Amino acid sequence: MRKNKLFLAGLLTLIMSIALFGCSSGTTTDSSNGGSSNGGSDDGKYTIATVVKVSGEAWFDRMEEGVVKFGEDTGHEAFQQGPQQADAAQQVQIIEDLIAQQVDAITVVPFSAEALEPVLKKAREAGIVVISHEADGMENVDYNIEAFNNSEYGEFLMDNLAAAMGEEGEYMTTVGSLTSTSHMEWVTAAVKHQEENYPNMTAVVTEVETGDDLQTASEKLREALKAHPNLKGFQGSASTDAPGAALAIEELGLEGKISVVGTSVPSVSGQYIENGSINAITFWDPAEAAYAMNTLAVMILDGKKDEIKDGLDLGIPGYESLTVKDNKYIYGNAYVKVDKENLDEYDF
């Protein structure tokens, strides 16, 4: 009987020790920045999820290349997810699932910044580092990083559209969504720049939503032409907007009569640049943006947040000398223009 009592006492002591060890080794949250302090796995490697607006679109396929390369270069578990169609509710659900999986960091390109604020707040409260992109001004993130100053980029878009239109005539602008922060900033800055610098141009339709869908963009141009038959210019924000407009121009036989400029990638818009349906596209490399987001996430997880300041060099083209505003909003200088002259220099 005494041996049984001793055995039971020893067993209880062992169970209590295991329970106490489990309680002391869990994830903690840094209340000063909402970031994770769990240190990742024992080998110092982290799990980082990138959540994009929509899967299967060329822009985000290119972004995934950057995510994969980051994982290969660093050994961290980096992967990308996104809804099958651009939908904020589906993005929210993906992030909820990632919170449940206890990933170390989430990098995200919001379809609707406003819709994602609550779930990203929840992620940070769970100790997950959050980095956003194309969401300047977002609150519930550790940092938002942009490839450039959005106002300057909007002005750059307008300068190219004005040049294509001969600085005169009616034009329209489109956005993927009215809740897409970056798109709205580009369009607002572009129209303001036009009003101040190109008085013979007129915005007749602005901020038309396309849902990041090529066919919708095509239909929106057709609708605009019915109301404004003298339309001479189209400025698109989503990567599918300019090629969508070009498709309508081809089908209506309006090549050379409507100038098209917008954010896109050569793999989607190249054929239209070659045949003249698109005058120029402007963009930044989404693969490099993904690499930059993941790099920032690891810096925070490694306790190097104090190094994120003006002049930081991430070693990525366009992100060699960053500007940091309000200790949260980061800007690079990574945009380019592609037209017939340099189209063959880009393979994505």
In angstroms, rounded to a whole number, what is the distance separating the alpha carbons of residues 291 and 70? 6
Strand-pair partners of 282: 263, 337
Candidates 3.30.230.70, 3.40.50.2300, 3.40.630.30, 3.30.930.10; CATH matching 150-283: 3.40.50.2300
Q: How far apart are CA 166 and CA 170, in angstroms?
A: 11
Residue 316 pLDDT > 60, yes or no?
Answer: yes
Distance CA 128, CA 140 (A): 11
- Asked if residues 199 and 154 have their Cβ atoms less than 8 Å apart, the reply is no
Mean pLDDT for the chain overall: 91
Q: According to DSSP H, which parts of the chain are helical? A: 2-24, 58-74, 88-101, 113-125, 150-165, 181-197, 214-227, 241-252, 266-275, 286-301
The confidence band for 38, taking pLDDT boundaries of 50, 70 and 90, is very low
Q: Which two tokens stand for residue 130?
A: 């959050």
What are the pLDDT digits (tens) for 149-168?
Answer: 999 999 999 999 999 999 99
CA distance 311 to 203: 37
Each residue's pLDDT tens digit, 200-254: 999 999 999 999 999 999 999 999 999 999 999 999 999 999 999 999 999 999 9
- Residue 269 pLDDT more than 50? yes
pTM of the model: 0.83
- Kindly state the percentage of the chain with pLDDT values over 90: 87
pLDDT in tens, 85-143: 999 999 999 999 999 999 999 999 999 999 999 999 999 999 999 999 999 999 999 99
Per-residue model confidence (pLDDT) at position 11: 36
pLDDT of residue 347: 87
DSSP string covering 107-129: EE--S-HHHHHHHHHHHHHTT-E
* pLDDT at residue number 10: 42
| Mean pLDDT of the region 20-36 | 34
Which residues does residue 143 pair with via DSSP β-bridges, in sequence order? 131
**148 token code pair:** 């450039």
Conformation bin of residue 324: beta by default, left when phi > 0, alpha when psi is -120 to 50: beta
Contact predicate 243/221, CB 8 Å: no
Are both 47-148+286-334 and 150-283 of the same fold? yes
pLDDT of amino acid 40? 53
- The CB-based long-range contact list for 336-345 (8 Å cut-off, 24+ gap) reads 336/282, 336/283, 336/284, 337/156, 337/160, 337/280, 337/281, 337/282, 338/266, 338/273, 338/280, 338/281, 338/282, 338/283, 339/273, 339/279, 339/280, 339/281, 340/273, 340/274, 343/266, 343/270, 343/273, 343/274
pLDDT score of 12: 37
Residue 189 Cα to chain centre, angstroms: 19
What letter represents residue 286's amino acid? P
User: Which fold, 47-148+286-334?
Assistant: Rossmann fold (3.40.50)
User: Taking the alpha carbons of 275, 204, 226, 182 in that order, is the dihedral positive or negative?
Assistant: positive
Q: Work out the burial of residue 45: count CB atoms within 10 Å of its CB; fewer than 13 is exposed, 13-18 middle, 19 or more buried.
A: middle
Q: What is the pLDDT of residue 44?
A: 86
Question: What are phi and psi for residue 323, nearest 5 degrees?
Answer: -105, 130
248: which 2 tokens? 């309508």
- Domain-by-domain residue ranges, the chain? 47-148+286-334, 150-283
Q: What does the pLDDT average to over 67-74?
A: 99
**pLDDT for residue 260:** 99
pLDDT of residue 300: 99
* The predicted structure's pLDDT at residue 43: 77
CA 162 → CA 126, 173, 208, 266, distances in Å? 48, 13, 19, 21
Residue 39 clears pLDDT 90, i.e. is over it: no
Least confident of 4-8, 252-256, 266-270: 4-8
